Chain A
Amino acid sequence: MSESDLLRMTVLHPAHLALGARMTPFGGYDMPVQYPDGVLAEHRWTRDQAGLFDVSHMGPGFLTLNAPSGDPDADHAAISALIEPLISGDIAGLKPGQLRYTVLLNETGGMIDDLMVGRPRLPDRQGRLYIVVNAGTKDNDFALIAAAAEGRATLTRADDRALVALQGPAAESVLATLFPEAADLSFMTFRRFDRKGEGFVISRSGYSGEDGYEILIPSAQALEVWDLLIADTRVRPVGLGARDSLRLEAGLPLYGHDADETVSPVEAGLAFAVAKRRRACGDLRGAERLARELSHGPARIRVGLRVLSGAPAREGAEIADATGAVVGRVTSGGPSPSLGFPIAMGFVPPSLSAVGTSLQVIVRGRSQPAEVVAMPFVPHRYVRKA
């Protein structure tokens, strides 16, 4: 059986075909890699206006207490206690309506995945978490979470719905045409909206570095809402090609490339996602390694590179120090449409991680000069409301 026989389709698949998308297998799904505008135009449109992305291949879900007490704070504490042993973040400390980026850890402090976990806003919906994991890892992630919560909470997958991202400076005013109150959301908060008697989950978040939203849409309304958004002249569809170049410019790691089970969140530059309270509380997976790396520094760390001349350095390219000794590898890289020069992320020893350090990248056997630069490569433009 070929790979294509096993490919799943998102609810929005017919919309991509109608728009003339070029489709490619990704994370087990047949996904749009680009539309007729092409990757460069889609990338720039997202930075200038608003791009609409189908990310329904990802893994949204809800973890819900089987027997809530009815006390909102106690129920939130109880559901947090079920998921925290698997992850690095402080979920108990989330305020109502807050969403947090966190990491699923293995026993040695490596990353099983990165994910979003949110606490519902309303008092009558406590004892429940909104969770979004990556496409390629979702079956395993969901199995781990369900097993950890077994008997006490139930994991309900929502990946039969549509999940779309609307990203870019026009996103707020575009989405306000459908959901006026979405404009009040601050970065990394979310809430439920009702439309035609069904629930939508809208978060102010994304993976492009721009302001924007991720919207979980009931499957029966998915094509209608996609078409309504696309009909706005400020919105164009954007495929996975530009999604990747946008997140690279934003300095955001892509699981499976810039992070995997051998990489700790400290090495990946995600120490902020290892919550202070969790470091102290003793139930953190890989606590010994994480504590050691946090106090003495990791053996390697993810850095941003600017390639100063020559070809783009892509995943797998070797990184060498000024003497030519190989010190690491590029994990993501390519031309930056916004900046006009090649950029990359990769792992190097901390002694070579300072901004301004001169390094080399080896592309097709040739050494090319590169320099460590700060990430994000392109400034984030998240919108935080008071």
Chain B
Amino acid sequence: MHFTKDHEWIELDGDIATVGITNYAAEQLGDVVFVELPEVGKVLKPGDSLAVVESVKAASDVYSPISGEVIAANDGLTGNPETVNQSPEKLAWFARVKLADPAEITGLMDRPAYEAFLQSL
């Protein structure tokens, strides 16, 4: 698993990247009550909005860490947004993206580096 400084995780299977947010991010958001997912076929660039997660207090964008086309979205989250709090790094993936530029992955953190980054916050 790879991690970004924006507290997203990316799991690679060949050139397919599954993207979600980390335990830390889910904790910071508080109770998630609404999730807006990207449409399949949407072409993302790094920094584009991949999803929107909303707590009682606020709406927060999840920005795409990578380039590529969305090939699947986790529609189960729409009816069960609380999954984002219950299982952020496993069940609550947001989208699968066909990577346009695998080199983008190389700049990301592995888990020990991400844990160290969290300690530094």
Contact = CB atoms under 8 A, between A and B. Distances in A.
Interface of A: 33-34, 38-41, 43, 241-242, 244-245, 311-312, 314, 334-335, 337, 342, 364
Interface of B: 30-31, 33-34, 36, 52, 54-59
A18 to B, nearest CB: 20
Contacts of A364: 36, 52
A39 B54 contact: no
A13 to B, nearest CB: 21
A232 B30 CA distance: 26
A311 B36 contact: yes
B34 A241 contact: no
A40 B34 contact: no
B33 to A, nearest CB: 5
A19 to B, nearest CB: 16
A34 B30 contact: yes
A244 B55 CA distance: 13
A334 B36 contact: no
A105 B34 CA distance: 39
Given A241-B56, A244-B57, A364-B52, A335 B34 contact: yes
A39 B55 contact: yes
Given A34-B30, A38-B31, A311-B36, A335 B56 contact: yes
B30 A335 contact: no
Given A335-B54, A364-B52, A312 B59 contact: yes
A22 to B, nearest CB: 8
A334 B52 contact: no
B31 A40 contact: yes
A314 B36 CA distance: 15
Nearest to B54: A312
Nearest to B31: A40
Given A39-B57, A242-B56, 4 more contacts: A241-B57, A311-B36, A312-B33, A312-B54
A34 B57 CA distance: 10
Contact of B54 (A40, A43, A311): A311
Contacts of A241: 30, 56-57
What 10 A-B pairs come out closest when comparing CB atoms? Answer: A40-B31, A39-B56, A335-B33, A241-B57, A38-B31, A245-B56, A38-B30, A39-B30, A335-B56, A311-B34
B105 to A, nearest CB: 28
Nearest to B35: A311
30 contacts: A33-B57, A34-B30, A38-B30, A38-B31, A39-B31, A39-B55, A39-B56, A39-B57, A40-B31, A40-B33, A40-B56, A41-B31, A43-B56, A241-B30, A241-B56, A241-B57, A242-B56, A244-B57, A245-B56, A311-B34, A311-B36, A311-B54, A312-B33, A312-B34, A314-B58, A334-B56, A334-B57, A335-B33, A337-B56, A364-B52
A312 B33 CA distance: 10
Nearest to B28: A22
B57 A311 contact: no
Contacts of B56: 39-40, 43, 241-242, 245, 334-335, 337
A43 B34 CA distance: 17
Contacts of B55: 39
A160 B42 CA distance: 55
Contacts of B57: 33, 39, 241, 244, 334
Contacts of A41: 31
A311 B78 CA distance: 11
A174 B59 CA distance: 36
B59 A314 contact: yes
A311 B30 contact: no
A311 B55 CA distance: 11
Contacts of B31: 38-41
Given A33-B57, A241-B57, A244-B57, A311 B52 contact: yes
Contacts of B30: 34, 38-39, 241
Nearest to B49: A364
A334 to B, nearest CB: 6
Contacts of A244: 57
Contacts of A245: 56
Nearest to B56: A39
A250 to B, nearest CB: 15
Of B33, B36, B52, B54, most buried by chain A (CB within 10 Å of CB) is B33
A64 B59 CA distance: 46
Of B31, B34, B52, B55, most buried by chain A (CB within 10 Å of CB) is B31
Contacts of A312: 33-34, 54, 59
